[in-house]
Chains A and B, each alone.
Chain A
């Protein structure tokens, strides 16, 4: 699609130091060296912070794998001794050395197996603990991040951070780490062994490592690039899937299927291409390593054979050398596997750490101020509030003051986009105003602890999101721990009880995905019951009755009237019937409050105000 991509384009270009901060660098495939290094450092810092709390488990795993490698390393040594001493002695009739060696070899094998099992258990626990920790961190953090972040970042990306990106760390911890430890240890151990067995031959073998190091560097850089691309592509696939699954009705009714398929095909190809490149880079890498290994073997054989013939080298030592050499280069393949998982995981961690680095713009206060006790709702005041969604963005609400006394029911009226919802969202502290303050019972919302604020203020919107689970579960979201009787009472209060009891499982009926079992009106009633159960001092309703039929709406209104008697309420509704239950009406236009008074006052407005006009249109529509 050639269309401009998103809001980010509008935002002024961030300064050089900001380019990599948070999720800013996520969609950039070509990074300059400085930013790239910083991103990598950030990933490593995250990895380190995950490892640190369970360092002892990690060290235990390390100790086990070291021991295992030492034990396994003893194998070829036993064989060398058998050939050099055991066999000649056995020919002479002394089988003691032979018996010790064979016994030692078997013991090494058994010990190695036992240690492997222990290592797998310990490292498995370590890996799973790290994953659990990371999952919880990211999930919790995503929940803490402000709405403005979610609106820009989009759901699909958060989902891919928490699913496929964490999966790649899982792959690293499950296979990669084991490969790395085993490989590094055995390469190191064998190198020492080779040098001890025969210095010149050992040094010869080790010079072979120089091309290996070079090709590893090349491999690392190339595969890192490829894996960054796979992460980006899979996130796009996830977004496409999530959107399609959630909009399936529209997709099918409007024959969007084939267009969707061509979009997915594009992302699919991107993912496939990046993956193929990663695999191809791996192919070159393993070939080089293997080639170096095998050529050094040939060289060792040539030189070694000549030296044995000349008497400068024991036959057993040469034998051990050939056996060790195989083992020396085999783990390098595993090292490649590790590098693969590592680059993939680091690319994923880069994105995860970006999300973790984002700071919520709406923060919980460090030293919260307790709200004074209140019986009949709470006063809501706006003092010199000005609001814009982003710095440099257009002003949505020009500077204004507003005082809503405790217990008052206020209706906000105005055209779509006038700023009514923004005012409501400020009361629910979905955003903080860049200047001025919103206060509850005189306390700045920014000083109220989130838990207390959410007990005091509840907002019901027109998107009545239902979660997987039963009807009762969904109502109980208003107040976890509420008894069944309380849940039913809340449902009864809003007139939802009747339809819920008529469902096959009553309150225990599974609402299915997004509440698919219920009609839009029924979902709205459940959302209402949820709010009633929460029993807040301040209730904010944003278009919360738009899908109800008239009698149901009236029932809700009756319930509202009794409930709202001792609560503060802010109601946004397009239906004037809902507005008329308010004590006070505010007409909002272009972000400004242009009329303010009781419904009766405004209707009687001598100069024929906006509300009076609306009211007339409405009366005509009833005729």
Chain B
């Protein structure tokens, strides 16, 4: 089983650097600290560079002449510079720790915000492992980049230039030697950049795939256990992990080559300077102090030079992480508030209409819905019946705009749902899904979910309607019991009743129920049904039904077939007059005769 890592709906491929540059809004509020931090690094490097120059004075002055009167001052200068350097190190780290961690948190917050608004179609397409690896490992890569690599990339390049300047001042020839040796850096880095970027991207994508497999292995643990397929998935995981290992080893190879090439350059420079310096001293054109200082400066430049390789790797990694991040952030939120929202009439009655509604999945040319027209009058309950896979669930998802129609329109009280503010629409329309998802939170919170206006009485009322109050009260902490993944686990029927309570809690005027009774046993079903009847009296409801018992909640039944509503009527009308309906819903005699037999 393969995972689709990158889908076809990506925006045009940005260049790496653009992706990094786009992070700047996150750094803007902390620009002062970033600059302060860079200045601190630069200043500390200057201190570090000045120390060898003072040493030169010591060696050429007091040591050479034997006059130690000035020695005290000079040593003090080394001490002060050294202390300053240490303090600046501290300052730099303290200044950057806030901004880098804040930028990471903000990036994560915005990613989460965006993901929660992306349409369901996006989430069906993207494996959550890929999203997770972006939210966690890519963002920590970016944090590290901001905290270290970004500043050092700037500062080390500057230090290199300044250091070369100092060498030129000491002796133009010494400067020239170092410059000649630093020049190939540019060439090597460019060659390397393109090779490394590809590998970095591959490794991060493979990490995402690995996360996806991990996630599936955990969420699907019951199926894996039931079939004893743990080892099977483990083999797939191992294969993916080995692929990742191969990519990582290639990365190591490329970095190793780069590193090797880069560290040899300063050594050549120092060797050259030694040779030249010795002849200078022999000819009397140079002092020993100058040579020692030059070698000390060149030695000091080793780190800024050597680190270029590491910094480039980090930068590349960060650029790839940023690109992966923006891929998700750039995914278009296709379901949005209208520019000029219309308001529902003050007395919302919940008149739900489907007008010639068409729907096809993005990128697919086969329409699932081909002109559905259905009128659900205020207060009426309509059951939606159709074969497995006929598009019933899709039709229900159109009402709260989890997906948008590709043709026609859905209206509530005469207003196209796309002209309503999403918040208002979803307050008016409530949905109970076939597969009830519970979150790790208290029962109260699971029922109220987003409804901030909901109080305890409302929650209790909703639980009563869903015939869930008794079992909730029997939980160890009643309404405050934590349920969902990180809490008590509930049975399928209990979950479904909570999902039902969730749907009725906000007193919606339109209720969309997707097979709300499927996981209930006959006894509970009767209870919930009874409670539902009292709710359905006041609201408009569209109920997807597989069972005669559910259908009986409805005033009318609509038959969905071939992407259209082919018949509307009462249960008994349709049973009598519609062959397809009869086939779908009649519990005809063969079942009954078996009992008797």
The answer, yes or no, to whether B267 is at the interface (CB within 8 Å) is yes
Is there an interface contact between A241 and B131, defined as CB atoms closer than 8 Å? yes
Closest Cβ of chain A to B126, distance in Å, is 7
Closest CB in chain A relative to B488 CB, distance in Å: 6
Most chain B CB within 10 A, of A414, A513, A527, A551, is at: A513
Q: Of B266, B402, B518, B584, which is within 8 A of A550 by CB?
A: B584
Q: Which 3 A-B pairs have the closest CB atoms?
A: A294-B82, A109-B267, A454-B228
User: Is A167 part of the binding interface, using a Cβ–Cβ cutoff of 8 Å?
Assistant: yes
A67 to chain B, nearest CB (A): 14
Distance A272 CA – B107 CA, assembled complex (angstroms): 12
Residue-wise interface mask of A (314-329) relative to B, using a CB-CB cutoff of 8 A (1 in contact, 0 not): 0100110011001100
Task: Evaluate contact between B274 and A294: CB separation under 8 angstroms.
Answer: no
B69-82 vs A, Cβ < 8 Å mask (1 yes, 0 no): 00110111011011
Chain A residue numbers with a CB within 8 Å of B431 are: 249, 253-254
Question: From residue A130, how far is it (CB to closest CB) to chain B in Å?
Answer: 10
Closest to A245 in B: B128
Pick the residue among B97, B227, B271 that contacts A530 (CB under 8 A). Answer: B227
Q: Whole-angstrom distance from the CB of B493 to the nearest CB of chain A?
A: 3
What CA separation (Å) do A261 and B499 show in the bound complex?
22
How long is the Cα–Cα vector from A252 to B450 in the complex, in angstroms? 9
Instruction: Return the contact of A239 from the options B253, B486, B491, B522 (Cβ within 8 A).
Output: B486
Determine if B133 is an interface residue (Cβ-Cβ < 8 Å). yes
A517→B241 CA distance, assembly (Å): 28
Min Cβ gap A344→B in Å is: 10
- Interface contact B71-A143, CB-CB below 8 Å: no
B68 contact set on A, CB distance < 8 A = 305-306, 309
Q: Given A136-B241, A252-B402, A416-B493, do A315 and B63 touch, yes or no (CB 8 Å)?
A: yes
B13 proximal to A (CB < 8 A)? no
Chain A residue contacts of B214, Cβ below 8 A: 139, 158-159, 162-163
Q: Roughly how many angstroms separate A295 CA and B84 CA in the complex, as a whole number?
A: 11
**Residue of chain A at shortest CB distance from B100:** A279
Asked if A398 is at the interface (CB within 8 A of a chain B CB), the reply is no
8 A Cβ contacts from B75-129 to A: 75-76, 78-79, 81-83, 85-87, 89-90, 92-94, 96-98, 100-102, 104-105, 108-109, 112-113, 115-117, 120, 123-128
Does A163 contact B116, Cβ atoms closer than 8 Å?
Answer: no
Instruction: Determine whether the beta carbon of B439 is less than 8 Å from that of A247.
Output: yes
Residue B440 contacts which of A144, A154, A237, A499 (CB distance < 8 angstroms)? A154
A287-B89, A458-B227 are contacts. A3–B112 as well, Cβ < 8 Å? Answer: no
> Across the interface, which residues of A come within 8 angstroms of B288, CB to CB?
83, 87, 315
Determine whether B259 belongs to the interface, using a CB cutoff of 8 Å to chain A. Answer: yes
Contacting pair B485 A154 (CB below 8 A): yes
Interface centre among A251, A330, A581 (most CB of B within 10 A): A251
**Distance (whole angstroms) from the CB of B76 to the closest CB of chain A:** 8
Alpha-carbon distance between A81 and B433 when the two chains are bound, in angstroms: 82
Are B253 and A121 in contact, with the CB atoms below 8 A? yes
B488 cross-chain contacts in A, Cβ below 8 A: 6-7
Secondary structure dominating the interface of A: helix
- Nearest chain B CB to A509's CB is how many angstroms away? 11
- The answer on a CB contact under 8 Å between A257 and B211 is no
Closest CB-CB distance, A432 to chain B, in whole Å? Answer: 13
Q: Which of B256-272 contact A (CB under 8 A)?
A: 256-257, 259-261, 263-264, 266-268, 270-271
**Across the interface, do A468 and B227 meet the contact criterion of CB distance under 8 Å?**
no
Indicate whether A504 sits within 8 Å of B364 (C-beta atoms), given known contacts A416-B494, A416-B524: yes
Q: Is B445 within 8 A of A1, CB to CB?
A: yes
Which among B117, B223, B583 is the interface contact of A477 at CB below 8 angstroms?
A: B223
Does residue A13 face the partner (Cβ distance < 8 Å to B)? Answer: no
Query: Which residues of chain B in 215-261 are interfacial with respect to chain A, using CB atoms and an 8 Å cutoff?
Result: 215-234, 237-238, 241-242, 245, 248-249, 252-253, 255-257, 259-261
B contact residues around A113 at 8 Å (CB)? 259-261, 263-264, 267
Cα–Cα distance between A94 and B388 once the two chains are bound (Å): 97
Query: Which chain A positions have C-beta within 8 A of B518?
Result: 546-547
> Can you sample 16 A-B contacts with CB below 8 Å?
A90-B278, A116-B256, A139-B234, A243-B485, A258-B450, A298-B82, A323-B295, A323-B299, A326-B299, A413-B521, A417-B494, A460-B226, A477-B223, A513-B123, A580-B591, A581-B594
> Which one of B76, B124, B485, B591 contacts A516 once the chains associate, using CB atoms below 8 Å?
B124
Q: In the assembled complex, which residues on chain A have CB atoms less than 8 Å from the CB atom of B210?
A: 135, 162-163
A293 engages B82 (CB within 8 Å) = yes
User: Is there an interface contact between A132 and B259, defined as CB atoms closer than 8 Å?
Assistant: no
B362 close to chain A: CB less than 8 A: no
| CB–CB B132/A470 < 8 A | no
A120-B255, A295-B83 known; A238-B136 Cβ under 8 A: yes
B217, B444, B502 — most chain A CB neighbours (10 Å): B217
Measured CB to CB, the closest approach of chain A to B8, in angstroms, equals: 12
A286–B427 Cα distance when bound, in Å, is 55
Residues of A within 8 A of B440 (CB): 154, 239, 243
The answer to the question of B415 belonging to the interface, with a C-beta cut-off of 8 Å to chain A, is: no
Residues of A within 8 A of B492 (CB): 416, 462, 543, 546
Stretch at the interface among B54-62, B162-170, B182-190, B533-541: B54-62
Give A124 to B58 CA distance when docked, in angstroms.
Answer: 44
Contact B58 A518 (CB under 8 A): no
A115 to B521, CA, bound (A): 72
Q: What A residues does B58 contact at CB under 8 A?
A: 301, 305
**How far does the Cβ of A69 sit from chain B's closest Cβ, in whole Å?**
13
Q: How far is the CA of A365 from the CA of B284 in the complex (A)?
A: 87
Q: B259 near A147 (CB under 8 angstroms)?
A: no
- Docked-complex contact B291 and A147, CB < 8 angstroms: no
Question: Contact: B587 with A237, CB < 8 Å?
Answer: no
For A400, the chain B residues whose CB sits under 8 A away are none
Q: A459–B66 Cα gap in the complex (Å)?
A: 93
Grouping DSSP codes into helix (H, G, I), strand (E, B) and loop, the B interface class, with mixed when no group exceeds half, is helix
> Would B270 and A105 count as touching, CB distance under 8 A?
yes
Q: Which of A2, A87, A499 contacts B278 (CB 8 A)?
A: A87
Chain B, range 469-493, C-beta contacts under 8 Å to A: 471, 476-477, 480-482, 484-489, 491-493
Most buried by A among B128, B256, B486: B486
Produce 1/0 per residue, A154-182, CB < 8 A to B.
11101100111001000000000000000
Interface membership of A207, Cβ < 8 A: no
Q: Is the CB of B51 within 8 A of A297?
A: yes
Q: A272-B104, A520-B434 are in contact. Are A549 and B546 (CB under 8 A)?
A: yes
- Chain A residues closer than 8 Å to B100, beta-carbon distance: 279
Mark contacts of A221-261 with chain B using CB atoms, 8 A cut-off: 1 yes-contact digit, 0 otherwise. 00000000000001001110111111111111111111111
- Asked if A41 CB lies within 8 Å of chain B CBs, one says no
Q: Does A212 contact B (CB under 8 A)?
A: no
Q: Mark A253-296, 1 if CB is under 8 A from B, else 0.
A: 11111111100110011011101100110111011101101110
Query: Which listed residue (B242, B485, B549) contacts A621, Cβ 8 A?
Result: B549
In the complex, which residues of chain B have a beta carbon less than 8 angstroms from the beta carbon of A577? 587, 591
A265 to B435, CA, bound (A): 28
The residue from B59, B83, B452, B549 contacting A294, defined by CB atoms under 8 A apart = B83
Q: Does B519 contact A (CB under 8 A)?
A: yes
A570 to B145: give the CA distance in the assembly, Å.
58
How far apart sit A470 and B116, CA to CA, in the bound complex (Å)? 27
Are B278's CB and A480's CB within 8 A?
no
A430 to B364, CA, bound (A): 41
In the complex, are the beta carbons of B224 and A421 less than 8 A apart? no
Q: Are B546 and A550 in contact (CB under 8 A)?
A: yes
Cβ–Cβ < 8 Å partners of B595 in chain A: 580, 599-600, 603, 615
In the assembled complex, the Cα of A52 lies from the Cα of B58 at a distance in Å of 52
B21 interfacial contact with A, CB 8 Å: no
Look across to chain A and name the residue whose beta carbon is closest to the beta carbon of B255. Answer: A120
Asked whether A510 lies within 8 Å of B232 as measured between CB atoms, the reply is no
* A164/B136 contact (C-beta < 8 A), A294-B81, A547-B515 known: yes
- A544 CB to closest chain B CB, in angstroms? 11
Nearest neighbor of A145 in chain B, beta-carbon distance: B221
Return the contact of A242 from the options B132, B476, B552 (Cβ within 8 A): B132
Q: Say yes or no: A254-B117 contact (C-beta < 8 A), given A143-B234, A305-B71.
A: no
A237 near B136 with CB under 8 A, answer yes
